[in-house]
Amino acid sequence: MARDLKAAPVPGTEAPRGAPQQYTPRRKECLRSPAKSFHGKRGPGIFAWPLHPGGPTQMKRFPRRPSLLALALALGLQACGGPEAAPEAAVPNAVEESQTRVRAQDAAPDILTQLQAIPGLAVLEAASPAPGVRFFLMSYDQPADHWHPNGARFLQRMTLLYRSAEAPMVLASTGYGISPFFSQYEPTRLLGGNQLLMGHRFFEPSGPTPADWKLLSIEQAAADHHRVVQAFKPLFPGKWISTGGSKGGMASVYHRAFYPNDVDATVAYVAPNSYGTKDPRYVRFLAKLGTPECREKIRVFQRETLERRAEVEPRFVETTQAQGLTYNMLGVDKALEFTVLEFAFAFWQYGDASLCDAIPARGGPAQDIVDFLDWVVGLSYMSDSDSEYYAPYAFQAATQLGSYDSEERHLRGVQRYPGQYVPSALVPFDMTPYRFNPFAMPLIEGWVKAFGQRMLFIYGENDPWSTGAFSVRASNDSYRFYVPGGNHGSGISQLPSAERAVALARLRDWAGLPPASAAAMEQRSLAVSSGEELVTTGAVDRRRGPPATDVSGAFGRP
């Protein structure tokens, strides 16, 4: 029988002395399967599994094959029951609790005053972006290493979109850096909720100086989220929904896996789960996407670009110099070849079948080739500025997250760097000390399938990243939907009406909104779908370079 090992609380998140103690359900010796009911049940996270005593970053005695580990997690761990119910005396009277909450709200100070009272939080209120909405720029003091909190610290950038303390809270993860400008994630708009948006550790300026790269892990980032939730939940007692797109969606899933009870539900957009740094599933997916004629045009364009390297490269240099781009890390020649390899993936990630007719005809001007590469991939993708900004992502892909393989067989004879387009090649420092952990993603995958409750995954049918879509179980009140013909920008509001209705209904229930709010949510969804209202899923468009992040004086140390 497996022992129920409890992770030590992240330092700095313990309740202060004298604070009221909440009832914590006792767990039997066996690890629990997820509860079937939303209310009053709590499921296990990965930290409840046997981990290295020095922290959750390493495990001992793994199965030799990650697939077997995932199978064991997905099928074997669910054999046990749920946590014991709270004793009757521990359940507060609902009427008294409601009356107490109303009195507390009447006496509550202004939200800015409450934010300023959070230890380690610096706050600046910006101009209101819309009637009834307040917007705050914030930085939160975090330990670089949550399991050794007395060491280096860093300031994690965040923004808060505030409507009311009673509204649901949407905890949004960018997965990258964070823009100081107002943006509203789709769940935030659909629910009419608040939004706490978090930048990711190690993306400038949210990183320790000097950087200790071994501290950039999904476990440490999840602990960042956990501390933020612990700090803000007293101010926002309603339901919490986590969300994010692409890498932000991945970060939300990882946070949920390690701290499953921090939030009530998760909406993850186009969030993949990859096998290794060169996952061959993506090659097989692209080999079947679109018509045979379109796939052939893509291959011909890639090969011609490298065949005509002597003509194309000068135009590439001239165009990128006009954009202020440099390629000192990779060199122009390798940057061009890597851009060509990225072309087939980006073609479907950001575009659709209509792009097939726009592919330049063979033998056309070299400038047309460069311009089309810029349109589909973005010439900044392999530049020094992008490599520096996105280095934390490349590092994570090379050590834990994994990435996709590229089809190169049709480029034999014209390549100069075959097999070198891997995540570690885009990290601007020596990656020799850092090896890929093949067990991290199978662990997450196994947890999501076996224990992931109240999770909604949205994918685009034609988005290559959907190759690595997470699997869920309806018995966990979790769902996975695909937008027909959708790409990396797919969202709830683009789903077919029947599936959209299910997604909206579950989101409404998870957020604790009354059935009467269904009509308003449907209207908002239609407004988003038509383009009348602008929202984001959080998925980043790499074609346009890094986001603007600098606001002088806005994020001072508390």
Instruction: Give the global pTM.
Output: 0.83
- DSSP H or E run through 266: strand 265-269
Q: Which residue has the tokens 């530049």?
A: 383
What whole-number distance in Å separates Cα of residue 91 and Cα of residue 553? 47
Residue 406: per-residue pLDDT = 97
Residue 549: per-residue pLDDT = 65
Residue 257: per-residue pLDDT = 98
Q: What is the DSSP letter of 557?
A: -
Q: What are the start-end ranges of the E strands in 358-490? A: 455-460, 479-483
- Residue 19: both structure tokens together: 């604070």
Residue 551: per-residue pLDDT = 58
Calculate the alpha carbon distances from 470 to 206, 281, 448, 449 in Å.
29, 14, 7, 8
What whole-number distance in Å separates Cα of residue 252 and Cα of residue 224? 11
Query: What is the full per-residue pLDDT of the chain (558 aa) written as tens digits?
Result: 333 333 334 444 444 333 333 333 333 333 333 333 333 345 677 765 443 333 444 333 334 344 444 444 444 344 333 333 333 333 334 345 445 544 555 556 899 999 999 999 999 999 999 999 999 999 999 999 999 999 999 999 999 999 999 999 999 999 999 989 999 999 999 999 999 999 999 998 898 888 999 999 999 999 999 999 999 999 999 999 999 999 999 999 999 999 999 999 999 999 999 999 999 999 999 999 999 999 999 999 999 999 999 999 999 999 999 999 999 999 999 999 999 999 999 999 999 999 999 999 999 999 999 999 999 999 999 999 999 999 999 999 999 999 999 999 999 999 999 999 999 999 999 999 999 999 999 999 999 999 999 999 999 999 999 999 999 999 999 999 999 999 999 999 999 999 999 999 999 999 999 999 999 999 999 999 999 999 999 999 999 888 776 655 444 433
Residue 204: per-residue pLDDT = 87
Checking phi first, is residue 378 left (phi over 0); if not, alpha (psi -120 to 50) or beta?
A: left
Residue 389: per-residue pLDDT = 96
Domains of the chain as residue ranges with CATH:
111-276+454-544 (3.40.50.1820), 281-426 (no CATH)
Residue 545: per-residue pLDDT = 80
Q: Residue 54 half-sphere exposure, CB side, CA atoms within 13 Å?
A: 5
Residue 521: per-residue pLDDT = 98
Could you please report the per-residue DSSP string of 130-186? ETTEEEEEEEEEEESSTTSTTS-EEEEEEEEEES-TTS-EEEEE-SS---SS---BH
Specify the pairing of strand 240-245 against strand 265-269. Answer: parallel
Residue 58: per-residue pLDDT = 39
> Can you tell me whether residue 411 is helix, strand or coil?
helix
Is the link from the previous residue into 210 a cis peptide, with omega within 30 of 0? Answer: yes
